[in-house]
Structure 1
């Protein structure tokens, strides 16, 4: 099960979101018995990769910021 998705928050997965919504619209009741599972799996994989990329970017930014903060504290300690 994927979280609520929106095109403006998940730019890299727009084609998969559209494919899933199109499948749900076209399949009618068949969507409940698994006719859209392939589109669902593709969307889940895209969202997983997007999450990992965002997590990696945020982690790198946090490490850089932490390094800068520690350098500032070192300067303050040397000043005193």
Structure 2
């Protein structure tokens, strides 16, 4: 079994967004859901993967984390 970056999908109250994806990104998202479904043994809705993928991306983006920490500590020192 391969190690995918997205694990179990959390049960959380969603915020609805509407967006457009390039066709190639949508095809990859569907393909990713199919691979994950085979590994999990259950059907996976490709749309349900977008939020955990974005969360994972932001959590592992060192530049974003650094700027976020700097912004947070600046806010504390001012307040």
TM-score by length of 2: 0.30
Greater share of helix residues, 1 or 2?
1
Query: Quick check: which has more Rg, 1 or 2?
Result: 1
